[in-house]
Amino acid sequence: MTEHRDPPPTAPADIRTHRLVYGCMGLGGGWDRQPYGAPEIAAAEAAIEAALEIGVTAFDHADIYRHGKSEAVFGEVLARTPGLRSRILLQTKCGIRLPDGTAPGFYDLRGSHIVHSVEQSLTRLRTDVIDVLLLHRPDPLADPEEVAEALAALHRQGLVRHFGVSNMAAAQVAYLQAHLDLPLVVNQLQMSLADRDWLEAGVLVNTRQSAELGFPLGTVEHCRSNRMSVQAWGSLAKGRFTGAQQNPAEHATAEHVTALAEHHGTTPETILLWWLQRHPARIVPVIGTAHPDRIRACADAARRAPELTHEQWYALWLTARNHPLP
C-alpha cells in the first residue's frame, strides 16, 4: 500500500482526551452479507451528523461490524463529505473472524491477519490511515512477538497511528505491552450501570460473591496506572434504564435516573453516561445507538463535566445493584 495522505485530524488526535466516542456497530444494515444501499448510507450520514452536532469527533469501528458494512457506509459518507476526515478520529478493531458457513468463528491475532484486516479496513473506510487500532479479543494462540512485529510494521508504514486493546485483562495487557515499543493507549471494556462487574470486583474482594464475577480485578487500576484510556462499550445498557426495563429493579433504577435527569436539567441518557464518567478512571463511554435523537440525548455528556454528587453516584449504583454493599 502507498504511504498515507490523510492529514492528522483537527479533532484531538490523542484518543485519551475525548469525552465520548460514537460506536458505529449499528450502521450498515443487517448482520448479513447482503449489499447495502442508499437507505443505509443515509442512515449512517444522519447518525454521523448527530454525533458531530453534539461535539463527538471520535468514531469507533471493527472490521466485523455488519460483515464490514459499517466501515463501508462510513467510508461512503467520508467520500461525499470533503474535509470530514480531517475533523475526526477513526478507531477500528481486528482479531475476530466470523463464521463463514465452512468454519466456526474464532479469534485470530496472527501478524498476517492483523495486516490484512487493516488493509481491508482502510479500503472500506476510504482513508489512508487509521488513528487507533484495537485488538478486539484475546487470542490464546497469539504470539506477542509476532503481534508486536505486525503493529510496528503498520506504524512504520504510516497506516496506523496508535494502538490499543479491547476486552483484555490487566495481565494480558501487560504481557503484550512488554513486547511493544509503542504504548497501548486504550482498553475497551463492557461497562455500564447494568454491567457492573468491573466495579463490583473492586468491592467484593474477600467475599464469597467475588467468585461469581467475570471481571478480572485490577484491570481498571492497571489502565489508570499506565495512562490507558478506559472506553466503555454498551454504556447505555441497551436502554434498560431508559425505556426497556425488564424487572422491578430496573424499573426502580429507571425512575431514579429520570428523577436525577430532571434535577440536573438533562436527559436520562446523560445521567447514565455521567455515572461512568464520574469514576476517577475517567471512563470514556462509547455510545452505540444508531438513532439520531438518542445520540443528541447524550449531548450534555459530551459538553458538561459530570454533575453527580458522591451521594447521587452511590444511590444510582445501589438502586441498580438491588443489594446493600458488604
Active site residues: 65
Torsion of CA 50, 53, 59, 61, to 10 degrees: 10
Q: How many CB atoms lie within 10 A of CB 179?
A: 15
Write the CA distances from 153 to 146, 160, 161, 162, integer angstroms. Answer: 11, 9, 11, 12
DSSP string spanning 205-232?
Answer: TTSGGGGG--SPTTHHHHHHHTT-EEEE
Q: Checking DSSP bridges between strand 130-135 and strand 106-107, what pairing results, if any?
A: unpaired
Evaluated on CA atoms 39, 43, 49, 53, the torsion sign reads positive
The CA distance from 53 to 50, in Å, is 5
Q: Coil, helix or strand for 287?
A: strand
